[in-house]
Chains A and B, each alone.
Chain A
Amino acid sequence: EDQVTQSPEALRLQEGESSSLNCSYTVSGLRGLFWYRQDPGKGPEFLFTLYSAGEEKEKERLKATLTKKESFLHITAPKPEDSATYLCAVQANSGGSNYKLTFGKGTLLTVNP
């Protein structure tokens, strides 16, 4: 069974204090790993897809990286508006349900001014 574990569950940063969120996964052949941002009371907003180990993607202050066992979401010099829950999801490359996204429980990021 595919599994996704995100850590930490919650992270509090000061504005400008860079850090990383972790997503560890177990999947029978990774097709893709997805990062989403979710604001309170709203639906998840797509950020990145990573497909293979070594791949990196960037968007503003966010950079996502991927290894064979985990992904990191690096946040450089965060601002209060980066406060949100960040979700990681994996999609397997094989099996009957290879369309399915398996989500982690998320990391709640709070950036204080």
Chain B
Amino acid sequence: DVKVTQSSRYLVKRTGEKVFLECVQDMDHENMFWYRQDPGLGLRLIYFSYDVKMKEKGDIPEGYSVSREKKERFSLILESASTNQTSMYLCASSFILHDEQYFGPGTRLTVT
């Protein structure tokens, strides 16, 4: 079974803090994705990575950056957290770019 894990289930941060969300997958998948999920808006793609050190912007990259130094690990960074970044953050991975994506359990981030 594909296993995608995320470093925290719940996180509370203050406005202006730098926030790191970590994601690890154990199936040697090439591709990894970061989404956020908000009520009424559904899942929206923030960034994705198709190889180590390679990344592409998704639909809503503003205010976020990513890092992929190892194949199994993909980090989402909020450089200066703001209240409008309060959301559920979901990491996903896929073997082939056009394959189904497997999701982690999510991190519910609250920025106060």
The count of residues in chain A whose C-beta lies closer than 8 Å to any C-beta of chain B is 22
With A99-B48, A100-B45, A104-B42: A44-B90 Cβ-Cβ less than 8 Å: yes
With A32-B98, A100-B58: A44-B103 Cβ-Cβ less than 8 Å: yes
B55 to chain A, nearest CB (A): 13
Q: Chain A: which residue is nearest B43 at the CB level?
A: A103
Give the chain B neighbours of A55 by CB distance below 8 A: none
B108: Cβ under 8 A from any A Cβ = yes
Q: On chain B, which size bracket covers the interface?
A: 20 to 34
Give the chain B neighbours of A91 by CB distance below 8 A: 98
B102 to chain A, nearest CB (A): 6
B101: Cβ under 8 A from any A Cβ = yes
A63: Cβ under 8 A from any B Cβ = no
Interface residues of B in 37-94 (CB under 8 A from A): 40-43, 45, 48, 50, 58-59, 90, 92
Give the chain A neighbours of B31 by CB distance below 8 A: 99
- Among A46, A49, A101, A104, point to the contact of B102 (Cβ < 8 A): A46
Residues of chain A whose beta carbon lies under 8 Å from any beta carbon of chain B: 31-32, 34, 36, 41-46, 49, 87, 89, 91, 98-101, 103-106
Q: Chain B: which residue is nearest A106 at the CB level?
A: B42
Complex Cα–Cα for A49 and B96 (A) = 14
- Among B43, B58, B105, point to the contact of A42 (Cβ < 8 A): B105
Complex Cα–Cα for A97 and B31 (A) = 14
- Among B4, B42, B90, point to the contact of A105 (Cβ < 8 A): B42
